Amino acid sequence: MTKTAAIIGGGVIGGGWAAQFLLNGWDVRVFDPDPEAARKIAEVMDNARRALPGLGNVALPAEGAMTFHDTIEAAVQGVEWVQESVPERLDLKQKVYGELQAHVPAGAVIGSSTSGYKPSQLQEGFTNAAQIVVAHPFNPVYLMPLVEVVTTEANSPEIIAKAKEIVSAIGMYPLHLKKEIDAHVADRFLEAVWREALWLVKDGIATTEEIDNAIRYGFGIRWAQMGLFETYRVAGGEAGMKHFLEQFGPCLSWPWTKLMDVPEYNDELVDLIAGQSDAQSGHHSIRELERIRDDNLVGMMRALGANDWGAGALQNAHDSARMQAAGLARNIDDVADITQPILTQSRTVPLDWTDYNGHMTESRYLDAFAQATDRLMEIIGCDAEYIASGGSYFTAETHIRHIDEVHAGHPIQVRTQVIMGAGKKMHIWHEMFEGDRLLATGEHMLLHVDLKTRRSAPPAAHIEANLVRIAEAHATLPAPDGLGRAIGAPR
14 is in an annotated binding site: yes
Q: Is the peptide bond before 263 cis (omega within 30 degrees of 0)?
A: no
- CA neighbor of 83 nearest in space, from 106, 40, 112: 112
Helix (H/G/I), strand (E/B), else coil: 443: strand
b/e 285-320 (16+ beta carbons within 10 angstroms → b): eeeeebbeebbebbebbbebbeeeebbbebbbebbe
275 is in an annotated binding site: no
* Half-sphere exposure at residue 149, Cβ-oriented, CA atoms within 13 angstroms: 20
9 is in an annotated binding site: yes
Quote the CA–CA distance of 198 and 192 in Å, as a whole number. 10
CB 171 within 8 A of CB 314: yes
CB 483 within 8 A of CB 431: no
10 is in an annotated binding site: yes
Q: Give the DSSP letter of residue 485.
A: P
- What is the C-alpha end-to-end distance of the chain, expressed in Å? 58
DSSP H stretches of helix in 141-263: 157-169, 186-202, 208-214, 220-226, 229-235, 240-248
List Cα–Cα distances, 60 to 21, 207, 324, in angstroms.
Answer: 11, 42, 12
User: β-pairing, 132-136 with 173-177?
Assistant: unpaired
335 is in an annotated binding site: no
Q: Give the DSSP letter of residue 416.
A: E
β-bridge partners, 27: 4
* Angle, alpha carbons 394-398-399 (nearest 5°): 170
- CA neighbor of 419 nearest in space, from 429, 406, 432: 429
Quote the CA–CA distance of 309 and 291 in Å, as a whole number. 24
435 is in an annotated binding site: no
Quote the CA–CA distance of 250 and 136 in Å, as a whole number. 34
Residues tagged in the binding site annotation: 9-14
Residues tagged in the binding site annotation for NAD(+): 9-14
